[in-house]
Amino acid sequence: MRPDPTVTATPQDDPAPTREPNIPPASPTRAVQPATGSTGAQGRGLLDRWLARLTLRRAFAIEPKLRGEPRAAIAEALELADQKAAAAELLWNGGQAAEALRLLASALDATARALEPFAGALGDASDADRGAHRGSALRALLGEENTAAQVESVLLEVGSVALPVLEREVTPRHEELWNRWWRARTRLAEPLREATRTRAQLRAAVAVRLLVPVAVLAAAAIALAIALDEPEGMFAEASGVWAGAADFDASKAIDGSPTTAWLAPDGMSATLVVRIHPPRSVRRIRLLNAYNAPHYDRGTKDYALELLSDDRVLRRFGGRFERTVQGVPSWVDHDVGVDGVDRIRFVAYSYHGLSAGLAEMRLEP
């Protein structure tokens, strides 16, 4: 709601001072050279990266080096990291931001420890210099230089930020911190999780990735085919039928016989909708009121007639049928002269006798 410009703000007591969080800017990342070459080359590069992710190409390449102890060590460290991250998310969503941030920092540390056996298995680091080679391990795991640099920046940041202890010390800047840290952990944890899979598990994962879009496309193609395969002709449906009887259903209003009729339920207004496929031009509509011989106790009185195309009303008419006491009633004609009609709606507002109805609707091109 916008503030009322006539209301003058009144001074309020200053809130209790809070400690300004010591959140340094993210560590500088390696400069990334701008892409060169044609747009087509850039497109091929994006396609290649997408295919690499879809087929888990990097995970397959490093899988032989991670068999046995390294894979088990990664899985154990990642399990602990996931456990801490899940608890942190629960606290954050519950409004306990201070504790959530501290637990997320612990989850990031645990995730970084899962990176150590990965680096050792690739031969990029020994126990003495494993930390110094974390950047090369990140690049081997993530593939993209910029992404690896961003994750490495967050891992360095975790140990240097003074986090809030009390909930009242949390500021909007801490929400930015949470989002940045959470994204970095997700980017690191997902490929590490792939690194814990065996070759058979990787094949199964790729099969699922390939089958899901194929299934979605197949379902969409089937739905489209059904939509496009709608039979040609006129099809009627009604808001109601007297006693639910098939002898008086909506189709009887377009069956070409003046001796049959759609009859609506007793004592209420009713609607008849006629669908036309494919859409057609209509020069004139002829209507024959229901009469229910030999009783002559039913028929529409006041009505409206609408011609539509894609839910847009092209023409609208109103009319009234005279009551028939014997014999077949007279036809009522409406000159229309419109193209592209895909639906006709007949609304019976009132009725003669017990209920409304329509014996026949005919279209003249």
* SS3 label, residue 23: coil
Query: What is the torsional sign of CA 156, 157, 158, 160?
Result: positive
CA distance 137 to 78: 16
Same domain membership, residue 239 and residue 355: yes
pLDDT for 355: 96
Q: For 6-24, what is the mean pLDDT? A: 43
Q: Are the C-beta atoms of residues 95 and 178 closer than 8 Å to each other?
A: no
Share of the chain above pLDDT 90, in %: 49
**Domain range for residue 56?**
42-197
Q: Is the pTM above the cut of 0.75? A: no
Domain-located, residue 314:
yes
234-274 pLDDT, tens per residue?
A: 999 999 999 999 999 999 999 999 999 999 999 999 999 99
Three-state SS at 91: helix
Residues 162 and 260 in one domain: no
Q: Which of 70-79, 103-112, 348-357 has the lowest mean pLDDT?
A: 70-79
- Looking at residue 251, its amino acid is S
85 domain residue, yes or no = yes
Assess contact for 195 and 114: CB atoms under 8 A. Answer: no
Q: What is the pLDDT of residues 102-144, one digit of tens each?
A: 999 999 999 888 888 777 776 654 444 444 567 777 777 777 6
Residue the block writes with tokens 């637990």: 103
Give residue-wise pLDDT tens across range 264-310: 999 999 999 999 999 999 999 999 999 999 999 999 999 999 999 99
Q: What is the pLDDT of residue 226?
A: 67
Judge whether 157 and 24 are in contact, CB under 8 Å.
yes
Into how many domains does the chain fold? 2
Domain assignment of residue 139, yes or no: yes
pLDDT at residue 49 in the model:
57
Q: What CATH number did the domain enclosing 306 receive?
A: 2.60.120.260
Q: Crossing angle, helix 145-158 and helix 97-122, to 10 degrees?
A: 130
Q: Which residues of 71-98 are buried (b: 16+ CB within 10 A; e: fewer)?
A: bebbbebbebbbebbebbbebbeeeebb
Where a domain ends, among 197, 225, 242? 197
